[in-house]
């Protein structure tokens, strides 16, 4: 896993390269494609019926037409509002974003300048740090980071939930405006043919969430990204310390 030159710096933005705008543009294309497919599917259902038996132009018929128009319109409006909210939330922190990608029509993935992977699925924010065998932070590309966090590519070893027993995580949750928070440390399981000199040994993740329909402000999270990175590194170091203190297993 190699460290690449930051792609979201002020110099890049001045040259016209804006990873956030590119990701939002791809998100808009995907949402438009889904709306178009949904609309054509609904028209394919009702058009033969209307050709065979044209409905009367009364209130009941108009209500039936509205029923087929509302779903794609709701998807279109909802995704447009979500994308506009993301753009506004990321406006002041663009310089900290190295790479940006789209996982789905409403799921943005970002690699920050400190190497954290930030995923924004709806009302949740997931920040993931990648660490070497000694617990030192690594700085992957977006492609490398997403490959590492795929299902079955790592094993969760430690889970911490916000509460009295985890004051640091609880304070982080409150300062970032979340209602729930959980953190975990896992061990990577790279495939044999994908092992590289700097492949991460440890993955540490913190998940922050609010009530359904209330997204967490990305600007607020990115503004505290260095603090989150230190917390995740401390969590990995604590896991390593506990592992070293365990007696070695004997056959």
Mode of pairing for the β-strands spanning 117-121 and 107-112: antiparallel
96-146 tens-digit pLDDT: 888 888 776 667 889 999 999 999 887 888 999 999 988 899 998 988 888
Total-model pTM: 0.72
Residues 172-193, mean pLDDT to the nearest whole number: 84
Quote the pLDDT of residue 13: 43
Most confident of 17-31, 37-51, 110-124: 110-124
Quote the pLDDT of residue 17: 63
Q: Where are the beta strands (DSSP E) in 132-201?
A: 154-161, 180-188
In a 3-state reduction of DSSP, which class is residue 99?
strand
Categorize the per-residue pLDDT at 95 as very low, low, confident or very high, splitting at 50, 70 and 90: confident
Quote the pLDDT of residue 4: 41
Strand pairing partners for 127? 118, 206
Chain-centroid distance, C-alpha 125: 6
Quote the pLDDT of residue 105: 63
- Helix, strand and coil content of the chain, in percent to the nearest 5, comes to 50, 20, 30
């Amino acid at each position: 896993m190699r460290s690449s030159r930051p792609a979201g710096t002020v110099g890049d933005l001045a040259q016209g390269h804006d990873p956030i705008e590119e990701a939002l543009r791809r998100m808009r294309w995907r949402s438009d494609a889904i709306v178009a497919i949904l609309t054509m599917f609904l028209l394919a259902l009702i058009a033969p019926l209307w050709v065979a038996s044209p409905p009367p132009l009364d209130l009941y018929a108009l209500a039936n037409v509205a029923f087929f128009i509302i779903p794609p319109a709701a998807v279109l409006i909802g995704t447009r509002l979500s994308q506009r909210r993301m753009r506004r939330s990321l406006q002041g922190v663009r310089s900290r974003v190295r790479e940006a990608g789209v996982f789905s029509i409403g799921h943005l993935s970002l690699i920050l300048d400190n190497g954290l992977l930030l995923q924004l699925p709806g009302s949740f924010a997931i920040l993931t740090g990648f660490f070497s065998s000694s617990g030192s932070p690594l700085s992957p590309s977006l492609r490398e980071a997403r490959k590492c966090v795929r299902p079955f590519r790592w094993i969760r070893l430690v889970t911490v939930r916000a509460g009295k027993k985890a004051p640091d995580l609880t304070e982080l949750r409150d300062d970032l405006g979340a209602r729930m928070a959980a953190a975990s440390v896992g061990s990577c399981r790279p495939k044999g043919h994908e092992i590289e000199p700097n492949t991460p040994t440890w993955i540490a993740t913190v998940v922050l969430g609010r009530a359904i329909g209330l997204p967490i402000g990305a600007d607020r999270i990115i503004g505290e990204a260095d603090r989150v990175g230190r917390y995740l590194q401390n969590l990995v170091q604590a896991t390593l310390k506990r592992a070293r203190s365990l007696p070695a297993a004997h056959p």
